[in-house]
Chains A and B, each alone.
Chain A
Amino acid sequence: MRVGRRWLCRLAATGVLVVAVPAWGQADTARAERQIKAAFLYKFLGFVEWPPEAFERGDAPLQVGLFGADALADELALVAQRRQVNGRPVQVRKLRAGEPPTALHALFVGRAEPASGALMAQARRQPLLLLLGDSEDAIAQGAAISFAVVDDKVRFDVAPLAADQAGLKISSRLMAVARRVVMP
Chain B
Amino acid sequence: MAAAWPCTGQAAELASLADLSIEELADVQITSVSRRGERLADAAASVYVITAEALQRAGATSLPQALRLAPNLQVAQVDAGQYAISARGFNNAIGNKLLVLIDGRTVYTPFFSGVFWDQQDLLLEDVERIEVISGPGATLWGANAVNGVINVITKAAGQTQGTLLLAAGGNREQVLGARYGGTVGPGHFRLYAKRSVVQNTRDAAGTPRPDGRERTQVGWRSDWRVDRDAFVLEGAAYRGESDVTSAGALPLGPIETEGAHLLARWTRDWADGANLRVQAYYDHTRRDEPLLYRPEEDIADVELQHALPWGVHRLVWGGGYRQAQDRLRPGLFFAFVPERRTSDWYNVFLQDQLALTPSLDLTLGAKLEHNDFTGTEPLPTARLAWKAGDDQLLWAAWSRAVRSPARLDRDIRFPAQPLPGYGYYIAGGPGFVAEVANVTELGWRGRLGRDVTASLTLFHHRWDRLRSGQTPPNAQVQNMIEGRTFGAEGWVGWQVARHWRLSGGFTALRELLHVKPGSSDPTGPSALGNDPDLQASLRSTHELAPDHELELGVRRVGALPDPKVPGYTAVDLRYGWQVRPGCTLSLVGLNLFDPRHVEYGGTLGVSEIPRSVQLQARWSL
Contact = CB atoms under 8 A, between A and B. Distances in A.
B280 interface: yes
Nearest to B453: A173
Given A39-B18, A78-B14, A152-B29, A21 B229 contact: yes
A82 B15 CA distance: 9
Interface in B494-513: 495, 497-499, 501
Contacts of B271: 25, 28
Interface string A20-32: 0101111111011
B267 to A, nearest CB: 10
Interface stretch (A5-13, A57-65, A115-123): A5-13
A77 to B, nearest CB: 11
Chain B interface SS verdict (over half):
mixed
Interface residue range, chain B: 35 or more
Contacts of A32: 30-31, 33-34
B420 to A, nearest CB: 33
A178 B166 CA distance: 27
Contacts of A7: 282, 284
A39 B25 contact: yes
A35 B451 contact: no
A28 B23 CA distance: 24
Given A46-B450, A173-B22, A176-B495, A79 B227 contact: no
A177 B27 CA distance: 10
B11 interface: yes
Give the interface SS of chain A, mostly helix, strand, loop or mixed.
helix
Contacts of B30: 29, 32-33, 36, 149, 152-154
Given A33-B30, A36-B30, A3 B227 contact: no
Contact of A171 (B33, B264, B450): B450
A29 B280 CA distance: 28
B123 to A, nearest CB: 19
B425 interface: no
Contact of A10 (B11, B29, B229, B282): B282
A112 interface: no
B620 to A, nearest CB: 13
Contact of A27 (B15, B227, B231, B281): B227
B34 A17 contact: no
12 contacts: A7-B284, A10-B300, A11-B262, A17-B266, A21-B229, A27-B31, A29-B31, A43-B18, A83-B18, A153-B30, A155-B26, A172-B495
Given A14-B262, A79-B15, A84-B390, 10 more contacts: A10-B282, A17-B278, A78-B11, A79-B18, A83-B15, A153-B28, A172-B451, A176-B495, A177-B23, A179-B26
